[in-house]
Amino acid sequence: MKNFNRFKKILLLLFISTLFISCEKDFLEVTNPNDLSPETFWKTEQDAIKAITGAYALFQYQVWDGRWGYYEIGYMNLECRSDLINLYDMWSPFGDMSTYDASSTSYVLNDFWSFSYQGLYAANQVIENVPGMGLSNGDVFVAEAKFLRAYAHYLLVTNFGNIVMKTSTPQSTDDFYEGQSAQADVWAQIEQDLLDAKSNLPLTWESQWLGRATKGAASSLLAKAYLWQEKWSQAASELREVVNSGVYALESDFESLFNGLNEHNSESIFELNFTMSDAGGRNERNSFPAMQTDWKMFTPNEYMRGLFLNDLTEGGELSQRVNGSLIYTDLAADDLGAISWKKFSLYDEATNNGYSFSHSGTNFTVIRYADVLLMLAEALNESGSTGEAEGFVNQVRARAGVPDISGMNQADLREHIRHVERPLELAAETGRFYDLVRWYKNGNLSSVLVAHGREAGESFDNSNDLYYPIPSSETTSNPLVVQNPGY
Amino acid sequence: MRKFLTIFFCLFVYQTIFAQNGTVIGTVVDEDGLPLPGANVIVLDTELGAATDDNGNFTINNVPTGTYSLRAQFVGYNNVVIGNVVVEANKSTEVNFELVSGIIAGEEIVVVGYGVQQKREVTGSVASISADEIKKIPTTQIGSALQGAAAGVNVTNATGAPGASPRISIRGTATLGNNDPLYIVDGVPTDISYVNPSDIESMDILKDASMAAIYGSRAANGVIIINTNRGATDKGQDLQIKYNSYFATQSVENKFPFITNKEDYVKLAKIALENAGIDYTTEFGADHFLNMYDDDPSQFSSSDWEDAYFDNAFEHKHDLSVSGGAENFNFAVMGMYSDMDGLVSTTNNERMSLRLNSDFKKGIFRIGESVSIGRSEGSGRFNNLYSFYALSRMSPLTPIYDNTESGYGSQLNIGGFGNTGENPILENELNKDTWDEVKIMLSGYVEVDIFEDLKYTFRLSQNITEGYWFSFRPSYFTNDAENNPTAQMWETRNRKYHSILESFANYNKKFGNHTVTAMVGYAEEKADGRSTYGYAQDFPNNDLQVLGAGESGDNASGWANEWRLRSFFGRLSYTYLDRYLVTANIRRDGSSRFDADDQWGNFPSFSAGWRISDEPFFNLDKVTELKLRAGYGELGLQEFGDYQYIPKIQKDENGRLNYSYGPGRDQIIYIGARSLNFPSVGIQWETSKETNIGFDLGMFEDRFTMSLDYYLKTSDGILFGVPIPKSAGAVDNPVVNSASIDNNGLELAFAYKNFDSALKYQVTTTLSTYSNEVTRMGEYGDESIWGGEVHWGLDQTTKTVVGEPVASFFLYETDGLDSNGDLIYVDQNGDGEITEDDKKFMGNSAPDAEIGLNFNASYHDFDFTLNLFSSLGRKLINGGRWLTMNTDRFHAMHEDMLDAWTPSNSGSEIPRVIYADDRNSKASDFWLEDASYLRIKYLEVGYTVPKELTNSWGIGGLRIYIAAENLLTITEYSGYDPSVESYETGSIFNPSVSSVENTAGFIFDRGADRSPYPLARKFLTGIQVSL
């Protein structure tokens, strides 16, 4: 009897205790309350806006907190090899890069490479996911993403030459390891993306969305791609579309293009937006160090100064291009070191709004109408229509207030566009070295550099120095990637 | 005649049997004079013996005449042997024994997870540490008491800051993430950082897989099982009340050799500029400090920043415990309070804890609980992680205090000090960083004796952690360059619940020569954590230190995390003839940290042992125990982020995904979102496979005991984010099962004790060797992880690659100075250039061997303890020296620079000083030093007041002692502390950050001494009272 009672007690105890033991089948399934997941995202237009915003944001290259990212990684590494600059006091990563001797371990190149690929990843996410959302304007988002994908590939292929092309998001760990593509294939992809984008992008955006890609932006970038491949007539027809769209016109005040007080003007085709606002972290600010301060890295060189000194109006005055591009006291007599570039920087009280030079909301203009006109002139000239080409050059010159050119033959006009007009108009806007590469990649780039006063160009060798080295972080982790020759 | 012969024969026999025998009688009592019934008294070298009766008396009859040794033994007491006992025919010889309580090797109980085993039956590798050993070292941290106490257990201080927990690792580096072992306190997996060492009754360290496998997952780093005092039922009815208290002062053991004299400093600055070819009189303006100094040296001071930064610190701790019990219950209540200042002048840690354990028995049921509450509050811990770096930015020419609005000096206005920092004394004294954390452990159980041999246990437990951290930076103005215009405040709160349910049954039965023990059980655990964070700025004055008083910049954030675990486990042990032992464990765990297909892991283990000393053929008298054992087991780990396998779309808190559209400079910011990283798809448990062989030896009545173990451990599928190509487009590397490490080592422990005479002593020595090698790292053989960065701006010093130990030093080799006084770097590949290819591997920071030596002695009422610890073959990069001998800009300088090479001092080994030039400051073996050391870790002398005296005062016992901790360190290392590891990466305020992110840097930074904190030398005096 005693045993039986004991047995009953035990059974009761076991019964009670099993109640505690939950037999939920999904006890081990958890969901992450902190973040969205692909199952809960990609539902509404707001999600699409967030996703495309995330993609644009990467082109600000804000690698670390605080705002120097764009200046170092999005601007300086593109500008430092120009033949129009004098190296004044290069910060340490740019010392080697600016003398055509970059190192594969440079953090600047590493960050540029990885942020560009993050941009590609973000753009590919939009391209893959938005079509399935059933939005009425879904095509526009996809078009914007394709534009950004083309832009990222453009930046990568013009800087590194032999790049990994990314047209989809990785689905498995094998997809992390892809090899490099032939340059021709990359250009073909860029062209295809831009043609697709062009057809669905709007001509303009309403004010609150200014900064998003437009049809004109896609066409202009496509034209640049064509020019790289010397497809002159295709470039010309693309550029004519931009001209004839009626959307763009040259601004009359040259300086206002760069001082942050006239953003998204009629000449601006594609701008990278920055803002002063503190909300959401300080990474939406830009920082172009006031070129006139101790942070200054480079100045115009003698060749450039010579060009500016000759950019005179009818009345013999220095044109508004000179004033809008440089800070100087006496352009002819000043030491080179005392002259500074003015574009995009905040340097005086009137434009500062009380903020220091490193906290600026000034946008960076990636492509503007003057560039389109000069590209069209170049394409026409290369196709034999030198007369018509001169006309477009003169539109730019008229805005600057300097007299027209006329009666040039193809070779003269080519030299003029390459080594006079484009420098005067577009110096210090990151495009110069890439122009030199596309013109002289099969020619003698070294002699041009030397002729314009860049001593380091003497040892420049087309087979090695046209492109930066692939960052070592990629070559050591990706066995399918081969380092560029010469590094 | 035959009758005569018969009688004679009978008498002869009678004589033989009786006439030549004597008797031995006596009593066996304990140290209090109470009789010990049931004790055994044995006549050695014979088969004779007897047990004591209820009064402790024994009688051994028929002892042949002669001289013998007698041994008295009783469970829970040390054996006592009395020799030279003369037995005479027909006489009684009296021998009385007094037994002292203690543990007899072989019969002690070892807690092995969901049960106990007798130590004699253990077939794996276990180190048992008794309460006495733990309580020997007065401290608030268990880890501090453990170093050297057990072979294979390595303890390092991350920082010497008050409240910092030492890191304990068992058997080397098994994983690249969290190397902490699993801690079980009173059966509950919990965090030991607030467990008062004085509460501990026993600690068992399960070192090898065959022992730890019962905890399967999370056990690959070893398991430490702690049981706290629960009172006792069998020690009579008296309440035991104990009070302990100690007072201590600490001071910096050795100061860093900064130059504090302005003349020396200026002289060196001038030489540095001259060597760089710079003429400061013409190239720098009149406001440059050197020109100002030449003009008027008296305007500068000679400040000793280090002296102002550190202070002697005072500490005290008090414990009070009451425990007791009766036949059916036992209980213990333990309370503690401690207050400890840190060496950095504004740091402090205050702790208190209360623990209540009780057990009740009625019939077949036993019910009990273990509850503890611990609170720790402190100031200054997080602020001072960079204390050394802050000190290294300050020149002695700068005054610490000055006639400025804030009252503090500043060097940011004195020309020529490049890259300087803010006044660290100002930061210490004005900035306020406080934290406050409470940990509660609740546990209750019911045990039922279902049958005589079958017992069932059900236990429910919960750990609650609640923490809060806040930091306030007040506004101040020193000068235009150094000021904070708006006060700022950050506050974080977090709470975590961790619940455990366990249900298991134990079976234990002896069938003749066979003993079978079995255990089978189920457990489930879940943890939920939640944190909130707030920030505000613009406080109207510096006294209103609440977030609500901030007038702008409001920012709030928060996050949550959870994980779940479900387990099935079992054990089967079989013993034959008490000398052939076999044990098998199995555990199956499922974790929520993996996706549905990979959640479950199985962890088996098997071990066997052979008690050779119990074999009939074994005849060595001196040897009381000889046991061989071997085991193999597989364990798992899953200590990494909770949601790694779930793909996520995030907005980046730092705003890197945000973009502003629209014209103007002050546009609205739009929040962007995307997948930043790839989810860790298909990840599985890390597994660790370990083989262990060893033997235990006891000799001379167990006066001498020894254990030797050798282990081989392979950790596979280590979860780590090995670098993937950047072209894949992610920000970080996904955590995947990507690495493997092999560990092996030898552990030797031996002890000798001699309690037979008035001078009783015991010597324990442990020796451990560790060796590891990375066998796999990522998909392709040549992936590598760099680490060991002393500070941003200086090169990394370690590289972890396949074929080398984790975090091996990878440096340039130097070969003296050249004729200009610059370091010569060896061109290993002879290509005429010094590049990365000329670096080579130079060992790692892990020691070749660690030796601990503990010596305890007592003589009458005095007792003496000495703990020595030595680490041999350890190397460190002396980061502090590297930072202060780097003449990149002007900042603090190392005294060695006074001996730098100059043409008139060309025999020096110190390279010349050159301003803003890092040629002599590369990652080379010039900074690598031998950090082997021998340390007198602890020295104590105590006096126990005689019992008669204390009894007359009405108290049971009183002991007073004086002691010193870290009395002396003998080492060639020139930095603060040769036993340092690198920073503790603190994150009580962000529990959602995975432990891999928290500690991965830590693993690869081993070997780089960033001089986080000097070691403290402590002198203490204390008192122990029992009523």
Token digits of residue A368: 């503007």
Give the best-scoring range by mean pLDDT among A143-152, B95-104, B505-514, B661-670: A143-152
Give the range among A323-327, B124-128, B221-225, B565-569 with minimum mean pLDDT: B124-128
For the cut 60, the answer to whether the pLDDT of residue B148 exceeds it is yes
Residues B516, B465 contacting (CB under 8 angstroms): no
For the cut 70, the answer to whether the pLDDT of residue A33 exceeds it is yes
pLDDT of B201 reads 86
Give the mean pLDDT of chain A.
Answer: 88
User: Which of B553, B658, B662 minimises the CB distance to A207?
Assistant: B662
Beta strands B1008-1009 and B875-878, pairing class: parallel
pLDDT one-digit tens code per residue, B554-566? 888 888 888 899 9
CA distance A36 to chain B (A): 5
- A–B CB contacts, 8 A cutoff, strictly below: 251
Instruction: Report d(CA B941, CA B136) in Å as an integer.
Output: 11
Positive or negative, the Cα torsion across B77, B79, B83, B87?
A: positive
Instruction: Report d(CA A441, CA A228) in Å as an integer.
Output: 10
Phi-psi region of B56 (alpha: psi -120 to 50; beta: other; left: phi over 0): left
User: Interface pTM (ipTM) of the complex?
Assistant: 0.85
pLDDT of B211 reads 75
Contact B729 A170 (CB under 8 A): yes
* Average pLDDT for A254-278: 87
| Cross-strand partners of B477 | B483
pLDDT of B174 reads 67
pLDDT of A248 reads 95
Residues of B (728-787) whose Cβ lies below 8 Å from A: 728-731, 734, 736, 778-780, 782-784
> Phi first, then psi: what are they for B816, rounded to 5°?
75, -165
* Average pLDDT for B337-341: 92
pLDDT of B889 reads 65
For the cut 50, the answer to whether the pLDDT of residue B108 exceeds it is yes
Q: Is the pLDDT higher at B318 or at B983?
A: B318
Q: Model confidence at A469, in pLDDT bands (50, 70, 90)? A: very high
Give the best-scoring range by mean pLDDT among A193-197, A205-209, B552-556, B805-809: A193-197
For the cut 50, the answer to whether the pLDDT of residue B378 exceeds it is yes
CA distances from B530 to A37, A69, A241, B499, B645 (A): 19, 33, 57, 15, 20
pLDDT of A355 reads 53
Give the best-scoring range by mean pLDDT among B3-7, B55-59, B74-78, B984-988: B55-59
A232-244 vs A369-382: helix crossing angle, rounded to 10: 140
Q: Touching check for B970 and chain A: CB below 8 Å?
A: no
For the cut 80, the answer to whether the pLDDT of residue B85 exceeds it is yes
> Phi first, then psi: what are they for B609, rounded to 5°?
-145, 160
pLDDT of B982 reads 57
pLDDT of A244 reads 95
Positions of E strands within A360-410: 364-368
Residues B187, B368 contacting (CB under 8 angstroms): no
For the cut 60, the answer to whether the pLDDT of residue B102 exceeds it is no
Please give the angle made by the CA atoms of B888, B891 and B897, to the nearest 5 degrees: 75
CA distances from B783 to B424, B724, B786 (A): 40, 9, 10
Chain A CB contacts of B655 under 8 Å are 62, 280-284
Q: How far apart are the first and last CA of chain A?
A: 91
> Phi first, then psi: what are they for B666, rounded to 5°?
-125, 45
Contact A27 B524 (CB under 8 A): yes
pLDDT of A283 reads 63
User: Which of B655, B666, B672 minimises the CB distance to A276?
Assistant: B666
Closest-CA residue to B563 (of B996, B994, B998, B114): B994
Please report which helix (H) or strand (E) contains residue B460, including its range: strand B454-473
Residues B484, B473 contacting (CB under 8 angstroms): yes
Give the mean pLDDT of chain B.
Answer: 83
Q: What percent of chain B has pLDDT over 90?
A: 21
pLDDT of B282 reads 84
Q: What percent of chain B has pLDDT over 70?
A: 88
Give the range among A103-117, A286-300, B521-535, B650-664 with minimum mean pLDDT: A286-300
pLDDT of B180 reads 79
For the cut 60, the answer to whether the pLDDT of residue B754 exceeds it is yes
pLDDT one-digit tens code per residue, B267-285? 998 998 888 888 888 877 7
Residues of A (8-47) whose Cβ lies below 8 Å from B: 9-10, 13-14, 17, 20-22, 27-38, 41, 47
Instruction: Report d(CA B949, CA A93) in Å as an integer.
Output: 79
Token digits of residue B726: 């950047």
Token digits of residue B329: 């219950």
Chain A CB contacts of B526 under 8 Å are 27
Q: Is the pLDDT higher at A92 or at B1020?
A: B1020
pTM, two decimals, is 0.77
Residue-wise burial string across A200-232, b where 16 or more C-beta atoms lie within 10 A, e elsewhere: bbbebbeeeebbbbbbbbbbbbbbbbbbbbebb
Positions of E strands within B620-699: 623-637, 686-699
Q: Is the pLDDT higher at B292 or at B234?
A: B292
> Phi first, then psi: what are they for A338, rounded to 5°?
-90, -10
pLDDT one-digit tens code per residue, A174-189? 888 999 999 999 999 9
CA distance A304 to chain B (A): 30
Give the range among A191-200, B65-74, B989-998 with minimum mean pLDDT: B989-998
Q: Touching check for B561 and chain A: CB below 8 Å?
A: yes
pLDDT of B468 reads 87
pLDDT of B75 reads 62
Hey, is B940 helix, strand or coil?
A: strand
pLDDT one-digit tens code per residue, B786-797? 887 777 667 888
Instruction: Report d(CA A191, CA A187) in Å as an integer.
Output: 6
pLDDT one-digit tens code per residue, A83-132? 999 888 888 788 889 999 898 888 889 999 999 999 999 999 999 999 99
Contact A173 B675 (CB under 8 A): no
Rg of chain B on CA atoms, in Å: 33
- Exposed, middle or buried by CB within 10 Å (0-12, 13-18, 19+), for A172? exposed
Q: Model confidence at B989, in pLDDT bands (50, 70, 90)? A: very low
pLDDT of A245 reads 94
Closest-CA residue to B425 (of B325, B351, B344, B368): B344
Place of tokens 């905890």: B215
Contact A264 B663 (CB under 8 A): yes
Q: Model confidence at A18, in pLDDT bands (50, 70, 90)? A: low
Residue-wise burial string across B95-111, b where 16 or more C-beta atoms lie within 10 A, e elsewhere: bebebeeebbbbebebb
pLDDT of A120 reads 94
For the cut 50, the answer to whether the pLDDT of residue B709 exceeds it is yes
Residues 6+ apart with CB under 8 A from A327: A291, A292, A339, A340, A341, A342, A347
For the cut 50, the answer to whether the pLDDT of residue A144 exceeds it is yes
CA distance B828 to chain A (A): 21
Q: What percent of chain A has pLDDT over 90?
A: 62
Name which of B447, B726, B780, B795 to mutate to probe chain A: the one with the most chain A Cβ atoms within 10 A of its Cβ.
Answer: B726
pLDDT of A5 reads 67
pLDDT of B104 reads 43
Positive or negative, the Cα torsion across B634, B640, B642, B646?
A: negative
For the cut 50, the answer to whether the pLDDT of residue A360 exceeds it is yes
Hey, is B90 helix, strand or coil?
A: coil
> Phi first, then psi: what are they for B384, rounded to 5°?
-100, 15
